[in-house]
Structure 1
Amino acid sequence: MKKLQWKYIRWIILVLLLMSIFLFRFVSGTGEFYARSIYPVISSCLSRIASWFPFSLCEVLVIVMLVCLLVYPFIARRRNRRWRWIAVTEVEILLWMYVWFYWGWGINYFRNDFFERAGVTPCTYEEQRFKQFLSAYTDSLNAAFSQEVYVSQPALEQAIKSVYAKIPEKYGLIRPKDFQHPKRSFCNALYSGVGVLGYMGPFFDESHVNHELLPVQRPFTYAHELAHLLGVSSEAEANFWAYQVCIHSTDAGIRYSGYFGLLPYVVVNTRGLLSETEFKSWLDTVRPEIIKQLYDKEAYWDDRYNKLLGKLQNVVYNWYLKSNQIPSGQKNYAQVIGMILSLPTNWWK
């Protein structure tokens, strides 16, 4: 009788939690309430637990759950459990994982977008304004150039976190904690094979950074993944904060990583918005050492890329983003330029 009562209580709690996720998804303002009032507490607790372990708890959890889902039917059948019982049990496990994913971090997908929180209207394309940005950005990129970027991991974390702590509260990012450190992945070669430079582990609020990153990529990528940990779900917004935080650093190497990290998105936007002649003319204004560094970076990752796995990952991740209110899918990464152009020059204050 007690087992039966616990089963009903467990399912009632599960259903209520599932309903709450749909509430956050569809009721305006509730997602922002979660991001500002609930997530900071959950994130602090989960990431504190994760900090006690040098490895990724998120990956351990996923691997253990997958093994359990595969092995459980054989164990249950040996105990004469019916297939219906097995199916219901496995569905329940998956639903609890679904709830944990969203309540642990995923509800941040349903918060107000960047422009609403910043109190600005997304800018429409104006050629002159874009060219002004392009000229100023290119000057800064060229001036910041560094052939070698090296910042120790402790110094990098301290520098990036100190800038994040100064971001005005209206943007809705929580403050980074001293005990939050990026984790290394068990499956790093697999992530390199599909072009993943880092990711956010939602089950224990852990950021992960690919340990094969080139030194010039490390500050920008770490700042991007930390933005996710601080409550940012949009990839474009994570790129925006990575860029802004890096270029506001006092460390010259971190500043250059910020400008260099934005360069691929500037290239995509410039090629799409300007004529071929104008694009080539702009490219000639970028220091040749930087162009070479960009080509070398692309060749470095091309050597590690697996086309079949990469295509599969692109399809799955595109679907994942679109199902979580990011309709542009992976194109969302390149929309960072629109965010930069939409803000006034004194927006940081």
Structure 2
Amino acid sequence: MEVTNTTKTIYKKRFWAGVLLAQFLLFYAFSKSETMIDFFERFFELQKKIHQLLFSWIPFSFGDLTYILLGIFLLYCVILCFKKKSRPKALLKILITINIFYFIYQIVWGMLYFQTPILKKLSSQKEPEIAKAKTLALLYLEKCKNTRASVREDRNGIFIITDLKSIQSEILRQQGQLPKYISNKEAPQINTFKPSLFKSVMNFTGILGYYNPFTAEAQYNAELPHTMIPFTSAHESSHQLGFAKEQEANFVGYLIGINAKNLDLKYSTEYFTLKSLLRFIVEEDPAFVKSVLNQYSPAMKRDRLYERSFTFRHQGWLDDFFRFTNNLFLKSNQQEGAVTYSYFIDLLLNYEK
């Protein structure tokens, strides 16, 4: 009887391993078909409002709780794998779990990485020019100075958010104001911004926020410097709209924040844009970047120093590990590496023509 059960388990493992391989091949084939990509885009539009409504009322991140429970379950299965008697069934459970989550992920999110790039929707598609980037950097330097003078700061002179809910409401409002030639995606106007339950760990990973495709929640690290939180929220809300690629989400986040009436969101967006431009320029002209940094207002210099001290305090092997794994994930989904901003700059310069 025991031999029969063992044989059945072996066949089941082979079956689920085969299903997983079949899924890899099937979704790879789908990624090459414009018809199928269009189908998944339309499906996302149909399901995203329902998806967000299901979890928006929960006061904490249900997606994070799901990840915790999943992690505990998988860890338990891994421990069982060290016991010869329970190993076959434990491996079977792991295979079934991977199959289920991989299928759901691809259906509700994974295929969106292959939709038509935003760059193709812009009338001009020129290569980014350093001269134009410099002009924009000087423009956004002045914008940052002006906006920074109108926002609040703490007793140490560091920028501080006064009303996070109003920022989130403004982001949702601006989602409906995006140019139609760039986005025809529906904006459900449902607040599913959630502080991550993993914020203490995130401090050491370099991850500012993330979108949970299984619950449609937009997570952000509540312990970030406040200069980062509004734009990070706008970025994650862009994923909620259906923009999967990281630098496209940055660009849509830019469109959401740059015209915002909320000054906290506006400053965070302008500051992110300025930093991105300077990172793009620095390899070609470090002297120019140094000159711009010297022209920061005293308040902006305090914000920059605080950001740098936050990053320095949380550097370590965990940051390097997550940077490496995130880089692999991005490249596996037809994106540039984690530290590359050139596609965002492509979009920005083509838009700001």
TM band (smaller chain): 0.7 to 0.9
Partner of 1:323: 332
> Distance in 2 between the 1:126 and 1:187 partners?
39
> Distance in 2 between the 1:183 and 1:62 partners?
15
1:336 aligns with 2:344: yes
1:39 aligns with 2:50: no
Task: Say whether the 8 Å CA contact 2:257–2:269 is kept in structure 1.
Answer: yes
Q: Aligned residues, how many?
A: 333
Indicate the RMSD between aligned Cα atoms, in angstroms. 3.0
Partner of 1:61: 66
> Distance in 2 between the 1:138 and 1:75 partners?
57
Task: Say whether the 8 Å CA contact 2:80–2:90 is kept in structure 1.
Answer: no
Identity of aligned residues (%): 21
Partner of 1:70: 75
Tell me the CA shift for residue 338 of structure 1.
2.0
Tell me the CA shift for residue 82 of structure 1.
6.6
> Distance in 2 between the 1:297 and 1:131 partners?
23
Partner of 2:310: 300
Q: Give secondary structure in 1 for the equivalent of 2:239.
A: helix
Task: Say whether the 8 Å CA contact 1:268–1:334 is kept in structure 2.
Answer: no
Task: Say whether the 8 Å CA contact 1:58–1:204 is kept in structure 2.
Answer: yes
Task: Say whether the 8 Å CA contact 2:137–2:274 is kept in structure 1.
Answer: no
Alignment of 1:1-349 (within 5 A): 20-28=26-34, 30-35=36-41, 37-72=42-77, 83-121=87-125, 123-146=126-149, 148=152, 149-172=160-183, 174-274=185-285, 276-303=286-313, 305-326=314-335, 328-333=336-341, 335-343=343-351, 345=353
Q: Give secondary structure in 1 for the equivalent of 2:28.
A: helix
> Distance in 1 between the 2:343 and 2:270 partners?
16
Q: Give secondary structure in 1 for the equivalent of 2:75.
A: helix
Deviations 1:297-347 (A, max 9, x none): 2212322x1401111111111111111111x210344532221111255xx
Tell me the CA shift for residue 13 of structure 1.
8.8
Task: Say whether the 8 Å CA contact 1:194–1:313 is kept in structure 2.
Answer: yes
> Distance in 2 between the 1:39 and 1:188 partners?
28
Between stretches 264-273 and 144-153, larger displacement belongs to 144-153
> Distance in 1 between the 2:301 and 2:116 partners?
37
Tell me the CA shift for residue 223 of structure 1.
0.4
> Distance in 1 between the 2:271 and 2:352 partners?
22
Deviations 1:37-86 (A, max 9, x none): 111222222222112322222222222222223334778999x9774444
AA of the residue aligned to 1:295: L
AA of the residue aligned to 1:200: Y
Change (3 A) 1:39 1:22: same
Task: Say whether the 8 Å CA contact 1:198–1:207 is kept in structure 2.
Answer: yes
Tell me the CA shift for residue 177 of structure 1.
2.6
* TM-score normalized by the length of structure 1: 0.84
Q: Which runs of 5+ in 1 are unaligned?
A: none
Q: Give secondary structure in 1 for the equivalent of 2:219.
A: strand
Q: Which runs of 5+ in 2 are unaligned?
A: 1-7, 153-159
Task: Say whether the 8 Å CA contact 1:173–1:231 is kept in structure 2.
Answer: no
> Distance in 1 between the 2:35 and 2:181 partners?
15
Task: Say whether the 8 Å CA contact 1:24–1:110 is kept in structure 2.
Answer: no
Q: Give secondary structure in 2 for the equivalent of 1:59.
A: helix
Tell me the CA shift for residue 173 of structure 1.
5.7
Q: Give secondary structure in 2 for the equivalent of 1:24.
A: helix
